Amino acid sequence: MIYLDNSATTFPKPEAVYMAMDHFARHSLANPGRAGHEMAMQSEHILQQARHRLNLFFNGQSVDHWIFTLNGTDSLNLAFKGILKPGDHVITSVIEHNSVSRPLSALAEQGVITLDRVGVDEDGTIDPDDINRRIQPNTRIIAINHASNVLGTVQPIDIIGKLASEKGILFLVDAAQTAGVIPIDVQKNRIDILAMPGHKGLFAPTGVGICYVKPGTAIKAWREGGTGGDSTTPTQPADFPYFLEGGTPNVLGIAGLLSGLEYLEKQTLATIHQHEIELIANLALRLQEIPSCRIYGHQNWDKHVSTLSFTLEGLAAVEIGAILDQSFGIAIRPGLHCAPYIHKAMNTFPEGTVRVSPGFFNNLAEMDTFISAIREISF
């Protein structure tokens, strides 16, 4: 199998991640903080190490404000449902994943908030001026994904973050497609909430999410329960990170996350991004030679992640995906990619597109195989 679905989940993981998880599962997988024995302390140490690495990696303001969640969707729900109050207004965009769109749409349908979605230009980029024009006195959050999981286009979060900060509005960034690929500095980019899964560019397994909550942000606990520390209070203890981490965390997955972060630091983001962009640029160039192929989004690779969407005239995306899988052993993702609003804007709804997303462990020979398969399918 040639795996080209890294926008969904990176595969394979670095060998060090598998080894770290195996060793941890066999020797240290206890409940962190629930007891004073050595294994429990080792589990707690893994959590603290991972928070420390994340704080350095993304230049956070506090180690204790890195919250471990179930996945990126869980992180976003924690933020929206912990921060938003009746009467608040939210600005988001048509390019968002359903992990952003659905909880906000639900809150809007319930009459809790009002919601505006800004559009994108024909290249898939948000104009910060469009956001500025939508700001109201009660605007509470501007929620934007850093890069589209459909088009791969990277948004100008530095400009949007400055705008939000100057207006006193919380800035939430969904970094599902960029964490571990493109540098993110929560202080420089003025990010108040940073939400991401661990299982994509950070090379963790599934079942790990991260949510950074800037110190001083007014938020209530969305999930309440055991914390392994203070058991005396009738409600969730106010200390971070435990205030937002009710229940036993996925320590095994976080051990994998810690190893993934260490691997990233050794490789460097610049090396990873350059390799992935070389692959996607190679694909784009050769796909343009196929008459029936249409590529969506811009090809300014400095503002792009390794995600490319295209269609072939006369063939449904889901049909192309099935042929690639069954006849060529190539894994891609056809359809709407959990982002229906951008497909409506591109006029690819409801069939969607073919999305190909090579990762750090793919190579040019695999791109050759992919292009050969597409040529055979299209003629």
* Amino acid 34: pLDDT: 62
Q: How does strand 193-197 pair with strand 170-174?
A: parallel
Q: List pLDDT tens digits, range 57-97.
A: 999 999 999 999 999 999 999 999 999 999 999 999 999 99
Which is it for the CA torsion 194, 298, 352, 371, positive or negative?
A: negative
pLDDT the model gives residue 41: 87
Q: Let me know: does 140 contact 169? Beta carbons within 8 Å.
A: yes
Q: Which two tokens stand for residue 284?
A: 């784009």
What is the layout of strands, in order, in the sheet containing 88-93? 66-69, 209-213, 193-197, 170-174, 139-145, 88-93, 113-118
Question: In this model, does residue 325 exceed pLDDT 90?
Answer: yes
Reported as a pLDDT band with limits 50, 70 and 90, residue 267 is very high
3-state secondary structure of 145: strand
Using CA atoms, how far apart are residues 36 and 21, in angstroms rounded to an integer? 22
Q: Is the distance from CB of 377 to CB of 315 less than 8 angstroms?
A: yes
Q: Which two tokens stand for residue 128?
A: 């910060």
**Whole-angstrom distance, CA of residue 326 vs CA of residue 253:** 31
Q: Kindly report which listed range (51-55, 245-249, 313-317) carries the lowest average pLDDT score.
A: 245-249
| Predicted TM-score of the model (pTM) | 0.95
What's the average model confidence in pLDDT over 129-135?
Answer: 98
Indicate if the pLDDT at residue 371 is higher than 90. yes
First to last CA, the chain: 23
pLDDT top residue among 237 and 153: 153
Reference 260, options 206, 202, 205, 178; nearest CA is 202
Q: How far from the centroid of its chain's Cα atoms is residue 130's Cα?
A: 23
The rounded distance, in Å, linking the Cα atoms of 59 and 26 is 33
Q: Name, in order, each residue with C-beta under 8 angstroms of 6's C-beta and a sequence gap of 6 or more.
A: 200, 306, 357, 358, 359, 362
Of 88-102, 118-132, 220-234, 360-374, the one with minimum mean pLDDT is: 220-234
Average per-residue pLDDT for the chain = 95
Q: What value does the mean pLDDT take over residues 139-166?
A: 98
User: Mean pLDDT throughout 175-186?
Assistant: 98
36 pLDDT more than 80: no
Task: State the average pLDDT over residues 330-349.
Answer: 96
Asked if pLDDT for residue 246 goes beyond 90, the answer is no
Is the Cβ–Cβ distance between 146 and 182 less than 8 Å?
A: yes
Contact criterion met (CB below 8 Å) for 186 and 194: yes
- Domains assigned to the chain: 16-266 (3.40.640.10), 268-378 (3.90.1150.10)
Indicate if the pLDDT at residue 179 is higher than 70: yes
pLDDT for the residue 35: 64
pLDDT at 225: 82
Residue 227: the pLDDT is 76
Residue with tokens 């969607």: 352
How far is CA 326 from its chain centroid? Answer: 29
- List phi, psi (to 5°) of 242: -65, -25
Please name which of 158, 170, 244 lies closest in space to residue 214, comparing C-alpha atoms: 170
Instruction: Quickly state the pLDDT bin for 222 (edges 50, 70, 90).
Output: confident
Q: pLDDT at residue 330 above 90? A: yes
The encoded tokens of residue 199 equal 């299982």
Q: Considering only CA atoms, which of 288, 259, 271 is closest in space to residue 374?
A: 288
* Other residues' Cβ atoms within 10 Å of the Cβ of residue 111: 9
What pLDDT score does 31 carry?
A: 86
Residue 315's SS3 state is strand
